[in-house]
Structure 1
């Protein structure tokens, strides 16, 4: 089978497409013929050796996957050969076939096409776990989403609004913010033209925001933390800016703020029943038309490097998808 391979850590243009050995499912595993793979910002980090997970070289990147079951291992009963499914893996999805752990593989709703299904798990799974389980977001609270036009950011905007919050979206251009507005953002901040902390104070009449969703890191993290309300929750989701901020610990002390880590992949593996319940809720909301993943563009497998470069250059609004025939 063909697969995208990372043979040495480096930028996207170092990836190659080559033939690799076919894989076989073991007990509690599912072999899936991949039809689509959704790209996520961690994909750009893992190929450079900058992510917290460092697969042994060489490896195939890609986590979000949708396709058709080819074969199941012993102990798998919820899906069978021929079923359309979606799920996630730590890496390996940018290939014609992939092995998925049975507890991370779900039947695909018939009304959800493969590109949408491959855009769903990482973005919505991360954001719903963050807002529901980690922040315990309440109706009527104010939610700030940094990097709001990206895959997980846009999902957080959409879910925050659905959960009854007042949503403030922050992004780097008016074009990106226009997409956030369509997805339910109540207020918009362009942090290239507006000072983040003072604008947040103004928008909240000095009270501050209850929850900060931060997949960006860098210089904006401390400014957002300084604009939190008493007993606020600061969600550490990722570091798309490239810099891991160093936070003065007197800031959470003075406001009783909780700095909360969000690692959805770890949660999904350690708490599969709870993750499955979250997934079923998200599927129901999708079926009801209350969630609508935004796909920026679809690329072919051989153009994976171009797609990852576009993501690294901050040109993407929503999700990028790799189509595999």
Structure 2
């Protein structure tokens, strides 16, 4: 009898958590009925959410801190922009963007994962700033401060939004499934105790490098979407503050849950737009929100919502 009650309780909890996640999807789709600026912000949130999900996977399940994600985001944007200006079809340009980001991750990751801890954070920041500097100074290719304009490309905002949300949901579903595979379980074990897993003969270096490549490709894809969405690419998108923004999104939503990263991106995007509409001190407001989150909801706001509204303890992969 107790076992049946426990199963029913778990089923009810999972059902409520499922409704909570569908509610989040509904918030992403609601601006379709509003159009205009709300739709623009929702598309921005969906694309940044894809990059935040990638960082959440890297940080929360791989144990790899990174302040160089802006390099992958910007490289994806510049790749699709330059490819389109060279006359390549849109589909091929969108394929090249994550490949370019993954190639950069391979070249830098071979050095980054020779170290550990705070040194990984420092190296990712350094490599990210090197890419930013190259984009900023290489005016003949990137346009420098003037950036690259894609104003000649016209994509209907509703179509772009639907594709962005669709890709985001597919990424969350695919990554959640990946975390349940032996590969995902090994990553989790490495995050918890890398020395022990390495002593068992597991090549932890290659596991972390492969995860780094995967998350870089997703971030590059998000960057290509942002380029099409904004119709403009700036080297400032590669600056380390963009990486810090993605980190804030992940910490607000919860670094141990992919849905949390989506929620954090949506929350940050709309709160920043709302507060900045009446004051330039929006950073103070967002910073205060982050401090309160760290103090009173250390796992993030999304796990807190899942516990309070979902009726159970949030799963690490949720």
* More RCO (CA 8 Å, sep 6+): 2
- Between Structure 1 and Structure 2, the one with more strand by share is 1
Same-fold call, TM cutoff 0.5: no
Please, what TM-score do these two structures have when normalized by structure 2?
Answer: 0.26
Please, what TM-score do these two structures have when normalized by structure 1?
Answer: 0.26
- Between Structure 1 and Structure 2, the one with more helix by share is 2
